[in-house]
């Protein structure tokens, strides 16, 4: 819309689009409003239908498969705010904690430690999407209750994964941020339910998915009106087998170029080994990541899940010091 287009003019475009069976999303920018016209038949519609309406500055077809996640729809960076912690701003936000919540003692110990070292959000899996049905599946509802306890005790927001589309309401009643795991990036029923929940969400990249597929999956969340979407690069499958997954460091500048959404990095699942986590974490911040998601366990050797890639609290404290220096070099802070 033209700068200063009236509400009536915007409504005129919205009404016309709806009369043609299109879905509409508005980006109410400070300067200009962008109206996204969405539907499977937009290719058959002439742009003139909208170009002639009062207040319209121009009509552009977004040629990429993803629309709402694109910079064409929203040029300025999106910020996601969780209890006053902004993701996508100058501060690099560190989320840390165990892969899985195992017990009250384990969770409280690690939560206290990561908070003391400067992490601002606590991670912990209650529902674990395990490769094998015979592996530990998480404490589930009990795990959520323990996360709520840790949140209250330490005054720290929590992020936890939701696996089943039917559990979105349950998990979002405990979590400050929902995590969509790599294996569920294209679980469209799950994405749609999370989109309707309006709970902030971290969308991990499917380990065999392209950046385009990742951003198009983000559209499922955005299409339902949930714009609190954070992307998370966590490594992709390549021919390289000396690491668990190959962290696609280029995905960070690529996302920054093509999307307005914040992007964080999970060095733990990419590395698969604790000794490799610090270098990958430092590289992520240098490359422009807006945050990190790191696995920390008070006693990694005893961990029920992902012990080999988990940092001890003291390794994590040391890493945070290094990360502060890298952040400073790229004009940010932790």
**What residue ranges bind Mn ion (CB under 5 A)?**
99, 306
Report the nearest approach of ligand PEP to the CB of residue 133 (Å): 15
**How many residues belong to the site for ligand PEP (CB under 6 A)?**
10
Q: 234 touches which of Mn ion, ligand PEP, none (CB within 5 to 8 A by kind)?
A: ligand PEP
282 near ligand PEP, rule: CB under 6 A: no
99 near ligand PEP, rule: CB under 6 A: yes
Residue nearest Mn ion (C-beta atom) = 99
The C-alpha atoms of residue 284 and residue 280 are separated, in whole angstroms, by 6
Q: 297 touches which of Mn ion, ligand PEP, none (CB within 5 to 8 A by kind)?
A: none
The C-alpha atoms of residue 95 and residue 318 are separated, in whole angstroms, by 15
244 near ligand PEP, rule: CB under 6 A: no
332 near ligand PEP, rule: CB under 6 A: no
Helices 141-154 and 104-117: crossing angle in degrees, nearest 10, is: 40
CA 201 to chain centre: 5
Helices 251-258 and 211-223: crossing angle in degrees, nearest 10, is: 50
297 near ligand PEP, rule: CB under 6 A: no
Segment near ligand PEP (CB under 6 A); pick from 11-19, 29-37, 64-72, 179-187: 179-187
269 near ligand PEP, rule: CB under 6 A: yes
Judge contact between 139 and 161, C-beta under 8 A.
no
260 near ligand PEP, rule: CB under 6 A: no
- 288, two tokens: 């422009």
Q: Which residues contact 241 (CB under 8 A, 6 or more apart)?
A: none
H/E stretch holding 113 reads helix 104-117
Report the nearest approach of ligand PEP to the CB of residue 174 (Å): 17
């Amino acid at each position: 819309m033209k700068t200063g287009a009236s509400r009536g003019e915007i409504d005129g475009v919205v009404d016309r689009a709806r009369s043609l069976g299109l879905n509409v999303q508005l980006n109410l920018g400070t300067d200009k409003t962008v109206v996204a016209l969405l539907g499977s038949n937009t290719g058959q519609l002439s742009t003139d239908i909208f170009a002639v309406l009062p207040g319209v500055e121009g009509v552009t077809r977004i040629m990429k498969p993803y629309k709402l996640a694109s910079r064409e729809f929203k040029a300025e960076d999106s910020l996601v705010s969780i209890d006053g912690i902004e993701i996508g701003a100058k501060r690099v936000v560190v989320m840390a904690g165990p892969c899985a919540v195992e017990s009250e003692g384990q969770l409280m110990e690690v939560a206290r430690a990561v908070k003391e070292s400067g992490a601002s959000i606590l991670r912990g899996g209650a529902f674990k999407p395990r490769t094998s049905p015979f592996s530990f599946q998480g404490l589930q509802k009990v795990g959520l209750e323990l996360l709520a306890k840790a949140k209250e005790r330490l005054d720290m927001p929590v992020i936890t994964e939701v696996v089943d589309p039917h559990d979105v309401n349950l998990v979002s009643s405990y979590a400050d941020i929902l995590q969509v795991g790599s294996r569920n990036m294209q679980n469209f029923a799950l994405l749609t339910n999370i989109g309707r929940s309006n709970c902030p969400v971290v969308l991990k990249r499917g380990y065999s998915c392209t950046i385009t597929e990742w951003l198009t999956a983000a559209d499922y969340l955005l299409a339902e009106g949930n714009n609190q979407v954070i992307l998370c690069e966590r490594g992709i499958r390549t021919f390289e087998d000396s690491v668990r997954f190959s962290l696609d460091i280029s995905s960070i500048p690529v996302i920054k170029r093509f999307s307005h959404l914040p992007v964080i990095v999970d060095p733990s699942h990419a590395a698969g080994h604790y000794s490799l986590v610090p270098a990958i974490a430092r590289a992520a911040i240098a490359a422009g990541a807006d945050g990190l998601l790191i696995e920390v366990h008070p006693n990694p050797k005893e961990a029920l899940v992902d012990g080999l890639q988990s940092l001890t609290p003291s390794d994590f404290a040391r890493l945070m010091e290094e990360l502060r220096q890298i952040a400073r070099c790229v004009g940010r802070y932790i």
